[in-house]
Amino acid sequence: MAEQDTPQLYLVTPPELELSSFPDQLSRVLDGAEIACLRLSLATRDEDRLTRAADAIREVAHQFDVALVIDTHVVLAERLGLDGVHLTDGARSVRAARKALGADAIVGAYCAQSRHEGMIAGEAGADYVSFGPVSANALGDGTIADHEIFEIWSQMVELPVVAEGSVSVEAIKALAPVTDFFAIGEEIWSQDDPLAALRTLMQAMA
């Protein structure tokens, strides 16, 4: 793994967004922080809503030269000309997504707390794997991707790793030496000033 001073930021959209205001909000965040990748992660399965959101967000992302991937929807990623897909079912769909989208697309895989699943995803052609959540949250069952998963991964595996899910200042301070990216989403969008919230988290990475 390449040595780097601090992990990079991977931004995730909120599950619900207002297209009349979110692009401006997103633009402000992308203008104020260096973002490596952006993920469209909406709760809806409605293709029309996903398509309209992807079109609006892609315009902002490309303006700031940020890659845009979409959760799960390989067909939409291909049809809308997005940069790739983030798969939420571990290694299961990686090979098929890679075949559908080609060698240049970004294919990421969320592997919960399973390092073994992450290894299989990597062998199947994933560009990165993500583990999480990294802090306990009210919605989860209390299971977290602990420091050891990231530490062993960073020592043994070259494939980039993303820490995501309930990313707190404490989690960032603990995991910054052993992860390549932090995926940040609701942690900032639920705040009145998303950019200020993001900068608070960024300070913890230093």
pLDDT per residue as tens digits for the range 130-154: 999 999 875 667 799 999 999 999 9
Mean pLDDT to the nearest integer, 74-86 = 97
Q: Is 166 left (phi over 0), alpha (psi -120 to 50) or beta?
A: left
Domain membership of residue 91 (yes or no) is yes
For residue 206, the model assigns a pLDDT of 84
Extract the tokens encoding 158.
Answer: 């070259």
Domain of 190, CATH number, reads 3.20.20.70
Domain membership of residue 131 (yes or no) is yes
Domain membership of residue 136 (yes or no) is yes
Mean pLDDT of the chain: 95
**Which residues are CB-contacts of 1 (< 8 A; sequence separation ≥ 6)?**
154, 157, 158, 160, 180
The tens digit of pLDDT for each residue in 83-98 reads 999 999 999 999 999 9
The range of the structural domain enclosing residue 157 comes to 8-205
d(CA 135, CA 102): 34
Domain membership of residue 161 (yes or no) is yes
- How many domains are contained in the chain? 1
Domain membership of residue 1 (yes or no) is no
Q: Buried (b) or exposed (e) across 175-198, using 16+ Cβ within 10 A?
A: bbebbbbbbbbbbbbeeeebbebb
Residue 37 has pLDDT above 90, yes or no: yes
Closest CA to 67 of 34, 93, 44: 34
